[in-house]
């Protein structure tokens, strides 16, 4: 599974890596970790490539404090001349570049060791400065819109420098009808904290107040569960340990069940309030309109999956048969089907495999990936106080950075390839795009990372040295598709139903959320899965539902990446050229159009159907290997 967190508007993606340990070793996780200074320098990222010293960071802080005020001089004058408008936009971009450097530096250093108070302080200072700058910049978009589309077009025609911002203006005016009057916008802004309150409440429950519970470790001693330990136990082969951990976690969550339901309901109602205020027909329409994505893309995805659930049901049935259980429970779904899945990969071995596997992407891509592995991009190993999981981040003027907590299982190898995909996408886009278009929407961002994984997987399958190794890889591949594709579509269907319930004048409750979630969960996984009496609370404890209509994009990205990667592996040189151009493209066009230029039309059912067909073939191949 993937989880998303944000340090700020420049974050790309934080991916939570899942580690496969035995039940016994799961209990030794938080002891004996090395200190930061004990890690070899070659396994650390070089954040000093952004700022050599804190004094350099402080110098940019002073620079920004002095320059922010200059932006206010343009207020009320953006229509005076094309030159003045360009000057304002360029200055705003320049200040954004500087503050993103400061932000990323502070939080990368903090993620090295969260006990370092100096970086907590830097993070707080830059967050406050960013808020001040956002307030100063807030007039720019409304004032440009007030000028009118025709006047702005005439200004662009009169100044070549403004042509860089042509799509920026186009997208701004596209959404103009949903921009309210200044007074109405002020009222919506005042309501912002109320609309955001549910996610803050949920995070306080999830991260602060709620404890997963306590279980006995392998020696019989009480041990507090963490999310990491819980996931490790679920991947372990001790079924009784899995049952106890699952029951403990569900009982813990049930204590908050009424608060969770009320909080999620408040979020959906708050989203519907903003939707109506801005004149949209549905929250789905509003959520997708930001990137100009037709709602048909969302609905077609769900419809296609609902029409092709048989292979997923077959996989559940096959797992039940192979594990030899009379009843398959939800806590049985993450266990690897072969001990070959326990194989460990040394970090340098993983790099070698990745570089070999990615050769179909061309010499330059492999060379750049190698330079990244060797050039201070990656922070490899876990140390005391280090942030968990994995992610890729960076700034417009820095090389990318990759956080890992590498332990050597198969998921670490693919996570490393995944994050290098993000990193090189950022690297190429920063080289090719002006700052205004340097980012990526989620709708396209996961393509680069998942494409790396797909190409690496095909390489590893082709070079598997034994039947058991191939089974382990297929198991991982199937579970990846299930988690990244099917599960995200299932979540999206649940989210669609609860939003429609409110939009149609209905009410939500604990029983409503549990019933809808149980029905959809059962539908997707089939009759061979038994959902325990307390295992239907999932819809109320998923952070992503507070980022409205967000998770479907994981599924669309996954389907696009599978189709693109196969074309490349088939030796289609035109497909490779289009893909490399895709990697250089940020937000200078709408996401659906960017993917279309890369050779994938998300308005068509083809990408989704390709992944559905692939999943069925993998399940059939796995069945053959396991039963022959």
Q: Say what the alpha-carbon torsion angle 105, 107, 109, 113 is, to the nearest 10 degrees.
A: 180
Query: In angstroms, rounded to a whole number, what is the distance separating the alpha carbons of residues 439 and 11?
Result: 9
Q: What tokens were used for 47?
A: 């954040």
Query: In angstroms, rounded to a whole number, what is the distance separating the alpha carbons of residues 402 and 397?
Result: 16
Q: CB of 105 within 8 A of CB of 116? A: no
Provide the β-strand partners of residue 14. 391
Q: What tokens were used for 448?
A: 């680069």
The SS3 of residue 328 is strand
Q: CB of 526 within 8 A of CB of 503? A: no
Which of 318-325's residues contact partners 24+ apart within 8 Å by CB, and which partners?
Answer: 318/619, 318/622, 318/623, 318/626, 320/528, 320/529, 322/626
Query: In angstroms, rounded to a whole number, what is the distance separating the alpha carbons of residues 317 and 624?
Result: 14
Q: Which residue has the tokens 């290098």?
A: 420
503 tagged catalytic: no
Q: What is the CA radius of gyration of the chain?
A: 25
Tell me which of 419, 453, 493, 495 is the catalytic residue.
Answer: 419
Q: What tokens were used for 103?
A: 């932000």
Q: What tokens were used for 27?
A: 């209990």
Q: Which residue has the tokens 């993103």?
A: 100
| DSSP letter string, 240-288 | HHHHHHHHHHHHHHHTTHHHHHHHHHHHHHHHHHHHHHTT-S-HHHHHH
Query: In angstroms, rounded to a whole number, what is the distance separating the alpha carbons of residues 472 and 214?
Result: 31
Phi, psi (deg, nearest 5) at residue 534: -110, 5
Query: In angstroms, rounded to a whole number, what is the distance separating the alpha carbons of residues 550 and 587?
Result: 18
Sign of torsion over alpha carbons 503, 504, 507, 512: negative
Q: Which residue has the tokens 């620079």?
A: 63
Query: In angstroms, rounded to a whole number, what is the distance separating the alpha carbons of residues 478 and 469?
Result: 14
Tell how strand 401-403 and strand 378-379 pair up: parallel
Active-site annotation, residues: 419
């Amino acid at each position: 599974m993937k989880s998303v967190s944000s340090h700020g508007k420049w974050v790309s993606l934080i991916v939570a890596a899942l580690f496969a340990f035995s039940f016994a070793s799961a209990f030794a996780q938080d002891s004996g970790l090395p200190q930061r200074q004990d890690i070899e320098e070659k396994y650390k990222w070089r954040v000093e490539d952004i700022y050599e010293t804190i004094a350099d960071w402080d110098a940019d802080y002073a620079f920004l404090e002095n320059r922010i005020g200059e932006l206010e001089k343009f207020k009320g004058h953006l229509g005076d001349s094309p030159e003045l408008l360009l000057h304002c936009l360029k200055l705003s971009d320049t200040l954004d570049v500087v503050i993103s450097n400061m932000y990323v530096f502070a939080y990368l250093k903090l993620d090295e060791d969260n006990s370092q108070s100096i970086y907590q302080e830097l993070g707080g200072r830059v967050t406050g400065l960013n808020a001040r700058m956002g307030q100063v910049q807030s007039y720019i978009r409304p004032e440009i819109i007030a000028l009118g589309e025709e006047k702005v077009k005439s200004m662009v025609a009169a100044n070549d420098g403004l042509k860089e911002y042509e799509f920026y203006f186009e997208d701004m005016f596209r959404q103009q009808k949903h921009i309210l009057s200044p007074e109405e916008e002020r009222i919506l802004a005042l309501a912002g904290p109320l609309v955001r309150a549910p996610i803050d409440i949920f995070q306080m429950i999830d991260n602060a107040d709620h404890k997963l519970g306590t279980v006995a470790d392998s020696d019989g001693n009480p041990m507090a569960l963490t999310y990491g330990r819980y996931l490790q136990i679920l991947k372990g082969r001790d079924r009784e340990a899995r049952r106890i951990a699952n029951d403990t976690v569900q009982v813990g969550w049930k204590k908050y069940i009424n608060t969770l339901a009320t909080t999620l309901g408040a979020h959906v109602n708050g989203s519907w309030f903003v939707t109506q205020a801005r004149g949209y027909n549905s929250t789905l329409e509003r959520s997708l309109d930001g990137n100009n994505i037709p709602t048909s893309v969302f609905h077609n995805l769900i419809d296609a999956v609902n029409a092709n659930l048989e292979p997923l049901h077959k996989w559940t049935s096959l797992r039940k048969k192979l594990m030899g259980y009379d009843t398959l429970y939800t806590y049985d779904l993450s266990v690897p089907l072969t001990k070959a899945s326990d194989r460990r990969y040394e970090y340098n071995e993983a790099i070698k495999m990745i570089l070999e596997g990615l050769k179909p992407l061309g010499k330059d891509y492999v060379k750049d990936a190698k330079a990244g592995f060797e050039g201070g991009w990656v922070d490899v190993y876990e140390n005391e106080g280090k942030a968990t999981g994995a992610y890729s981040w960076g700034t417009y003027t820095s090389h990318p950075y990759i956080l890992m907590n590498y332990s050597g299982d198969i998921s670490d190898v693919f996570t490393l390839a995944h994050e290098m995909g993000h990193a090189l996408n950022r690297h190429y886009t920063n080289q090719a795009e002006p700052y205004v278009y340097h980012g990526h929407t989620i709708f396209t961002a996961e393509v680069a990372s998942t494409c790396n994984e797909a190409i690496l997987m095909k390489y590893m399958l082709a070079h598997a040295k034994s039947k058991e190794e191939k089974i382990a890889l297929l198991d991982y591949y199937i579970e990846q598709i299930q988690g990244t594709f099917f599960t995200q579509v299932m979540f999206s269907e649940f989210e669609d139903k609860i939003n429609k319930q409110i939009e149609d004048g209905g009410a939500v409750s604990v029983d409503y959320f549990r019933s809808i979630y149980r029905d959809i969960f059962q539908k997707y996984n089939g009759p061979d899965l038994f959902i325990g009496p307390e295992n239907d609370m999932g819809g109320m404890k998923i952070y992503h539902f507070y980022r409205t209509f967000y998770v479907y994009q994981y599924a669309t990205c996954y389907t696009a990446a599978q189709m693109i990667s196969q074309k490349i592996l088939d030796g289609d040189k035109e497909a490779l050229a289009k893909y490399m151009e895709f990697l250089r493209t940020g937000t200078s066009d709408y996401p659906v159009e960017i993917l279309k230029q890369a050779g994938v039309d998300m308005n068509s059912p083809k990408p989704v159907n390709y992944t559905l067909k692939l999943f069925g073939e993998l399940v059939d191949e796995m069945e053959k290997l396991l039963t022959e």
